[in-house]
Amino acid sequence: MLKHSLISLFASAAIGAGTLAAATPTYEPLYIFDGQYTATLKQHSHRWQLQPLRGDEVEVSDHAKDCGSSKPIPNGLWFVSQDAEGKPQLVAPSVTALPAGFPQHVAMRACGEKADGDVALYVPAVALNWINANVGSVLIDD
């Protein structure tokens, strides 16, 4: 009888632990459209969605060979900033998970333009100009 009770106790504990693990929430960042970012890049489809403060959303797509990124940019929120030369760049905040060795700053250049460094994001000129003048943060997504 005691042996049966111990087996039941261990089985109940194992099931309870599995239920607890399944109920444990994950704390992935959640981003709010129009509150935390005003531009989105769908990397694999080379599609920018620009959300002006007033007016309709604008989509810019460009599949030119000199557009996109030299390496995939990690998904997440990126701040739009300027480098020491005043050129646009993306800066990863601490909430954006970067793979080992991936830079926290990524140069943004117009398609076809040259950039220093091993990682750069090439953007259609019309979108880059608008982002540089109007956007504080970009959500990179797939």
pLDDT tens per residue, range 52-71: 655 555 666 666 677 888 78
Say if 53 falls within a structural domain: yes
Q: How many domains does the chain have?
A: 1
Tell me the pLDDT tens digit for each residue of 75-120: 999 999 999 999 999 999 988 999 999 999 999 999 989 888 889 9
Structural domain includes residue 8: no
Please determine, for residue 24, whether its predicted confidence score (pLDDT) is greater than 90.
no
CA angle 124, 35, 126 (to 5 degrees): 15
The proportion of the chain whose per-residue pLDDT surpasses 70, expressed as a percent, equals 65
Range of the domain at 98: 39-141
The Cα 15–Cα 11 span in angstroms is 6
Is 28 inside any structural domain? no
Question: Does residue 84 belong to any structural domain of this protein?
Answer: yes
Beta-bridge partners for 121: 69, 108
HSE-up of residue 21 (Cα within 13 Å, Cβ side): 6
Assessment of whether the complete model's pTM goes beyond 0.85:
no
The token pair at 93 is 């905040």
- Looking at the domain assignment, is residue 123 inside a domain? yes
User: Rounded to an integer, what distance in angstroms lies between the CA atom of residue 98 and that of residue 60?
Assistant: 26
Residue 21 domain-assigned? Answer: no
